[in-house]
Chains A and B, each alone.
Chain A
Amino acid sequence: METIAIPAINLAPIMPEIILSCIAMLLLLVNVFVPSESKGYLGVLSLVGLVATAASVVSGWGQPVAAFGGAVQLDNFAVFFKLIFICSAALAILISDKYVVREEINHGELYPLILFATVGMMLMACGMDLMVIFLGLEVLSISLYVLAGFNRGSLKSNEAGLKYFLLGAFSTGFLLYGMALTYGATGSTKIGNIAGFVATNPQVATNSLFVVGMLLIAVGFSFKTAAAPFHMWTPDVYEGAPTPITAFMSAGPKAAAFAAFIRVMIVAFPTLKHDWTDLLWILAVLTMTVGNIIALSQDNIKRMLAYSSIAHAGYALVGFTACNPEGVAGILFYMLSYTFMNIGAFAVIVLIGKKGEANGNVQDFAGLGQKRPLLAAILCVFLFSLAGIPPTAGFVGKFYLFSAAIKSGYIWLAIIGVLNSAASVYYYLRVMVYMYFKPSEEDFDWVGMTPAIAVCLLLCVATTLVLGVVPGTVLELAQKAVQF
């Protein structure tokens, strides 16, 4: 009987995942002994875990290390994305403490699930093996299905969980099928090996298995990035899921899907570049336009932000279509900005909301500008940033993405992009119209700031403005992160 020689194992590149998984499991254990009124401490513990993970992630900057026979690779690209995921998880945890108490879903399992989702995202960002990427995606998705349906007493939340599960499973099918065909055509699941095979056998570009595999993988990731026409699940899920989870889903997992999408496409399918950039061109235009046009008519603010997040995925796809280093760096920068500005906006929604997801309509914001001037001003910053108006992070991000598109010669794509951002201004302005121009009917006396949300808002506002006014350093980091 032959013995199996286990290859040398270098745990350093997956240290962040290990730390975070351990923290999550620890939380599960501790949870049993924590009485329900002090579950908030679990949130604190998970924040500590996230900070430790971030420290371990940062140490990987500048020295790409591969491990497990090239199944994972911790490079700058992965580090940058992992930091985005950690930020989104931390911010989501910060805004959940008030929300879970109000909605009476103060279960300790919330935090481990968010951390597991983060582990999944991090695996997607550093995965160099289709199997690792797929399993990372599954860890992420399973956690998110549960998180979306976390509010068991609410029909909408149940619907969100189920819908997300069904459509998520469907999209996973596409993705897996695509990976299987690609494996069949190239004989490996490691994208490094696939790239090597493609380089030595250029005729594989005419192999239908390979082409269909690429298409199916693209479709699968498009589902996850909520690109039109694969966006149908987004509005219902975002509206029904608990608000902090919606904030989390719109930022982290979207970025994770982009991370894996970009790496797989650029590394494994370089010979089909013309095909998939054409495809992405169409996806980008559809995504921006559909997201913005439908968002125009939304009254529910969570739903509106859901459609707007579709549109924002479209802007990121513009950079992806450009497919130059600037475009990819633009996506990195944009996803970072989007995490802060979008979760910041959701934090305000959490504050304004009442039990049972009430007060989620744009009309409920009437008079906020008079009654709560500071909160309204903060929301304005986020909305202006989402709309891409200087001097905010959103503007610099869009500026970078559209410059990349123009540089690659996609001038029409850039024009369609700016026209879309003009349209998007309308629905962001609409919130401000209600906040400032309509008389208030309520006193907003239930709006109580908690330290956690205050920290979250402060972080988000500061980042949105700093990245808008002096983005130089982060832009350089994003540029250095474009290496696969």
Chain B
Amino acid sequence: MISHHLLTLLVFLPSLGALLILAVRKSDALARLVALGFAVAELVLSGYFFTLDTVHTLYPAPAGFFQYENVHWIDFFGIRYTLGMDGISLLMVALTAFITVIGVGVSWQGIKERVPLHFALLLLMESGILGVFLALDLFLFYLFWEVMLIPMFFLIGIWGHGRRIYSAVKFFLYTFLGSLLMLVAIITIFLMHGAQSGTYSFALVDLIGTKVPYDVGLWLFAAFLLAFAIKFPLFPLHTWLPDAHTDAPTAGSVILASLLLKTGAYGLVRFGYPLFPDAARAFTPLIYAAAVFGISYGAWIAFAQKDMKRLVAYSSVSHMGFVALGIAAWSPIALSGAILQMVNHGVTTGALFALVGMLDERTHSREIDTYGGVWGKVPALSFFFLLFCMASAGLPGLNNFVGEFLVLIGTFKVAPLPAGFAFLGMVLTLVYTVRLVQEILFGKERKPLVMHDLSLREGGILAVLAVGAVYLGVSPSPLLELVKGPVALLVGVK
């Protein structure tokens, strides 16, 4: 019985954990343990899915999906509760489960007020994100898409720093506005499909076959693109991101950068392109331009930042540009690269935010000016800092290199010009990363800093992330193998 509803279990297990935490909210220590327990259980569960490679489901699944659930929900609107997992979803799910464990880890001690609520929100967040990665019914997808905002709003607003309230509200409104227009587009295509086929359905597999007039399709795709581009974030819709990332608590920043941004990219891959292939083709030059400009612009602005967290935030804009580039190219190699890059960026940026959080906990400053000569004081921390900076800069042998390289190759075949510009952007990435490493780790000590090196907990978190980064860099082929099938199906659609 339960084996047919594994996906449901996967999505709602964290919510269950959140409820349990609220039940034991009198004890902070217990809340932490419950959170960690559920996060790890979720990670194990998501790992279990790697062992299921054949179709293993009660319900007839569309091609490529090896886990599928499809039950009645609101028949009145033709809404069904449809969850499905293919290779792409599986990667994203695994990333989500992994990063949530990291998120619980980094906020183990940093959060001192309202501890149970914090961990409950982290787990709720996980449920929402997993729902987004697994939903195959547009209504259900939209529901998770919105629900996921709520915990993040509270995470930023309650435990954030600086202008936390401004950032939280800005984050919420920005993303909410974009997704509402997507809702209109969803309803429109739902009605068009219903009028054409006579059956009203929100299922992705049904809606893909809808014949959309070209000009209408442009508008609908634009609405989807707006929602996804805000999450992505594509230049010039990124302005919420630096604020939200900077003011969020460490776990919030990690999840925001590693997971929330991916939902935008995932949505574009899963829904945007397949639903409106013609319109997507028409918009491709625009996405290229936004991607390439975002890569260079993000890197350029990152170079000028004084606040480390802001710097990493802008570097996300830059890195996500590569993902956009790979999606826009829509060739098997580029798309695989983009999906891989989503995972890579999740690991690297998550690690960088965690590191910045650790430095912040020690010195209560995120200003680059405060630091200098850190290498001599805390060698272990510095080692990881260097490692992840290098990974972020795309050093061969580490994870980002593979993703970005694949994206560039794939794009170069289809569109040499954007690929060329993106390559220039990569060079800029190197510039700001080297500056960061140079000033913080090796520069002259500007102020006397009293720091202790990594604790066992912090070391463990970073080591796990480092293993991930190295593994993804050295042998990405199993993952590429995993997404190969789904990517071929997707690209074949076009």
Q: Which of B114, B150, B154, B177 contacts A389 (CB 8 A)?
A: B150
Q: In whole Å, how far is A139's beta carbon from the nearest beta carbon of chain B? A: 35
Q: How far is the CA of A395 from the CA of B147 in the complex (A)?
A: 12
Of residues 78 through 129 on chain B, the ones whose CB sits less than 8 Å from some CB of chain A are 114, 117
Q: How far is the CA of A215 from the CA of B158 in the complex (A)?
A: 51
Q: How far is the CA of A414 from the CA of B147 in the complex (A)?
A: 22
Q: By the criterion CB–CB under 8 Å, are B187 and A402 in contact? A: yes
**Residue numbers in A under 8 Å from B164 (CB-CB):** 437
Q: Quick check: is A419 within 8 A (CB to CB) of the other chain? A: yes
Q: In whole Å, how far is B217's beta carbon from the nearest beta carbon of chain A? A: 14
Q: By the criterion CB–CB under 8 Å, are A422 and B177 in contact? A: yes
Q: Quick check: is A415 within 8 A (CB to CB) of the other chain? A: yes
**Residue numbers in A under 8 Å from B181 (CB-CB):** 415, 418
Q: By the criterion CB–CB under 8 Å, are A391 and B147 in contact? A: yes
Q: By the criterion CB–CB under 8 Å, are A429 and B169 in contact? A: yes
Interface mask (B150-177 → A, CB under 8 Å = 1, otherwise 0): 1001100110000011001100110011
Answer whether A421 and B180 are a contact pair too, CB < 8 Å, given A407-B191, A426-B173.
Answer: yes
Q: How far is the CA of A399 from the CA of B190 in the complex (A)?
A: 12
Q: By the criterion CB–CB under 8 Å, are B184 and A437 in contact? A: no
Interface mask (A274-310 → B, CB under 8 Å = 1, otherwise 0): 0000000000000000000000000000000000000
Interface mask (A459-484 → B, CB under 8 Å = 1, otherwise 0): 00000000000111001100100000
Q: Which of A399, A414, A426, A471 contacts B169 (CB 8 A)?
A: A426
Q: In whole Å, how far is B251's beta carbon from the nearest beta carbon of chain A? A: 17
Q: By the criterion CB–CB under 8 Å, are A422 and B173 in contact? A: yes
Q: By the criterion CB–CB under 8 Å, are B184 and A476 in contact? A: no
Q: How far is the CA of A138 from the CA of B433 in the complex (A)?
A: 74
Q: How far is the CA of A226 from the CA of B402 in the complex (A)?
A: 61
**Residue numbers in A under 8 Å from B180 (CB-CB):** 418-419, 421-422
Interface mask (A397-441 → B, CB under 8 Å = 1, otherwise 0): 001001100110001001100110110011001101100110000
Answer whether A403 and B146 are a contact pair too, CB < 8 Å, given A437-B165, A437-B168.
Answer: no
Give the size category of A's interface with B.
Answer: 20 to 34
Q: By the criterion CB–CB under 8 Å, are A415 and B184 in contact? A: yes
Answer whether A437 and B157 are a contact pair too, CB < 8 Å, given A389-B150, A475-B76.
Answer: yes
Q: How far is the CA of A368 from the CA of B333 in the complex (A)?
A: 53
Q: Quick check: is A187 within 8 A (CB to CB) of the other chain? A: no
Answer whether A390 and B143 are a contact pair too, CB < 8 Å, given A406-B187, A418-B181, A476-B76.
Answer: yes
Q: Which of A389, A391, A406, A426 contacts B184 (CB 8 A)?
A: A406
Q: How many A-B residue pairs have CB under 8 A?
A: 82
Q: In whole Å, how far is A285's beta carbon from the nearest beta carbon of chain B? A: 15
Q: By the criterion CB–CB under 8 Å, are B172 and A425 in contact? A: yes
Q: In whole Å, how far is B129's beta carbon from the nearest beta carbon of chain A? A: 15
Q: In whole Å, how far is A169's beta carbon from the nearest beta carbon of chain B? A: 40
Q: Quick check: is A363 within 8 A (CB to CB) of the other chain? A: no
Q: By the criterion CB–CB under 8 Å, are A436 and B187 in contact? A: no
**Residue numbers in B under 8 Å from A402 (CB-CB):** 183-184, 187
**Residue numbers in A under 8 Å from B176 (CB-CB):** 389, 422, 425
B219, closest chain A residue (CB):
A411
**Residue numbers in A under 8 Å from B187 (CB-CB):** 399, 402-403, 406, 414
Interface mask (B203-217 → A, CB under 8 Å = 1, otherwise 0): 000000000000000
Q: Quick check: is A370 within 8 A (CB to CB) of the other chain? A: yes
Q: Quick check: is A384 within 8 A (CB to CB) of the other chain? A: yes
Q: In whole Å, how far is A291's beta carbon from the nearest beta carbon of chain B? A: 17
B178, closest chain A residue (CB):
A422
Answer whether A471 and B76 are a contact pair too, CB < 8 Å, given A406-B188, A415-B184, A425-B173.
Answer: yes
Q: By the criterion CB–CB under 8 Å, are B183 and A399 in contact? A: yes
Q: By the criterion CB–CB under 8 Å, are B157 and A389 in contact? A: no
Q: In whole Å, how far is B220's beta carbon from the nearest beta carbon of chain A? A: 11
Q: How far is the CA of A437 from the CA of B157 in the complex (A)?
A: 6
Q: How far is the CA of A390 from the CA of B180 in the complex (A)?
A: 12
Q: Which of B143, B157, B190 contacts A436 (CB 8 A)?
A: B157
Q: Quick check: is B283 within 8 A (CB to CB) of the other chain? A: no
**Residue numbers in A under 8 Å from B421 (CB-CB):** none
Q: Quick check: is B442 within 8 A (CB to CB) of the other chain? A: no
Q: By the criterion CB–CB under 8 Å, are B147 and A390 in contact? A: yes
Q: By the criterion CB–CB under 8 Å, are B150 and A406 in contact? A: no
Q: State the 9 A-B residue pairs at the shortest beta-carbon distance, nearest first.
A: A418-B180, A390-B143, A422-B177, A475-B76, A437-B157, A403-B187, A472-B74, A472-B76, A390-B146
Other CB < 8 Å A-B pairs besides A390-B147, A436-B158, 7 of them? A389-B149, A414-B184, A422-B176, A433-B157, A433-B165, A436-B157, A471-B76
B-side interface residues toward A, CB under 8 Å? 73-77, 114, 117, 142-143, 146-147, 149-150, 153-154, 157-158, 164-165, 168-169, 172-173, 176-177, 180-181, 183-184, 187-188, 190-191
CB pairs A–B below 8 angstroms (22 shown) = A384-B150, A389-B147, A390-B147, A399-B183, A402-B183, A403-B77, A403-B190, A403-B191, A406-B188, A407-B191, A421-B180, A426-B169, A429-B169, A429-B172, A433-B157, A433-B168, A433-B169, A437-B168, A470-B73, A472-B74, A475-B76, A479-B76
A-side interface residues toward B, CB under 8 Å? 370, 373, 384, 389-391, 395, 399, 402-403, 406-407, 411, 414-415, 418-419, 421-422, 425-426, 429-430, 432-433, 436-437, 470-472, 475-476, 479
